[in-house]
Amino acid sequence: MTYADVIERLEREKDLVRKLNALLQQELDFIASDDVQALEDSMPAKQKIIRTVQEIRQESQMPSGDPNTDDAERMRSLQQDLVRLWKKATGLNEISKRMVSQRLSEIDDTVQAFFTGLKESYTREGRKSTIPIHTIRTGA
């Protein structure tokens, strides 16, 4: 393996992480619009990218000897780009997790209110209702 191969692998990883960031940004849009099906459908593409990055990293071995100045500079630049892109991916993923947790909490609150309403439902006149309400509006 040569340093040109290492550079090529770093460039492939960089492209893959860019695609991953685009998918994570799209995931945020799906969460914001409560599009659960599209969110589920996007998961395999993200998993495939992550597996491909893992394979690239497992294959790569550093060649013996020192790289020339151009190769060393290019590798350093690519590594810095990768660090930046991975930080962005991590940030997008954290935002996504917070949004999903918040949405699940909202659904839980709605469901709890529904079950409380089943136990204590009253008519408009203030009397106990004999017919429980069965509508849950979660937005999902």
The pTM score is 0.75
DSSP character for 127? S
139: Cβ contacts below 8 Å, ≥ 6 apart: 34, 106, 107
**Residue-range definition of the domain harbouring residue 17:** 3-119
Q: Going residue by residue through the chain, which has 140 residues, state the pLDDT in tens, using 9 for 90 and above.
A: 788 888 999 999 999 999 999 999 999 999 999 898 999 999 999 999 999 999 998 887 777 788 888 989 999 999 999 999 999 999 999 999 999 999 889 888 888 876 766 656 666 676 666 555 555 566 65
Taking the C-alpha atoms of residue 39 and residue 29, their distance in angstroms, rounded to an integer, is 9
Q: How many domains does the chain have?
A: 1
The answer to the question of residue 72 being in a domain is yes
33 φ, ψ (degrees, to nearest 5): -95, 5
Residue 122, helix vs strand vs coil = strand
Place of tokens 């935002």: 95
The answer to the question of residue 42 being in a domain is yes
The answer to the question of residue 131 being in a domain is no
Burial of 27 from C-beta contacts in 10 A (0-12 / 13-18 / 19+) = buried
Q: Residue 108: what pLDDT?
A: 86
The answer to the question of residue 127 being in a domain is no
For the domain that residue 20 is a member of, what is the CATH number?
1.20.58
The answer to the question of residue 10 being in a domain is yes
What's the start-to-end Cα distance of the chain, in Å? Answer: 51
Q: Residue 129: what pLDDT?
A: 62
The answer to the question of residue 129 being in a domain is no
CB–CB of 52/59 below 8 Å?
Answer: no
Q: Residue 62: what pLDDT?
A: 76
Taking the C-alpha atoms of residue 30 and residue 59, their distance in angstroms, rounded to an integer, is 34
Q: Residue 91: what pLDDT?
A: 96
The answer to the question of residue 135 being in a domain is no
The answer to the question of residue 86 being in a domain is yes
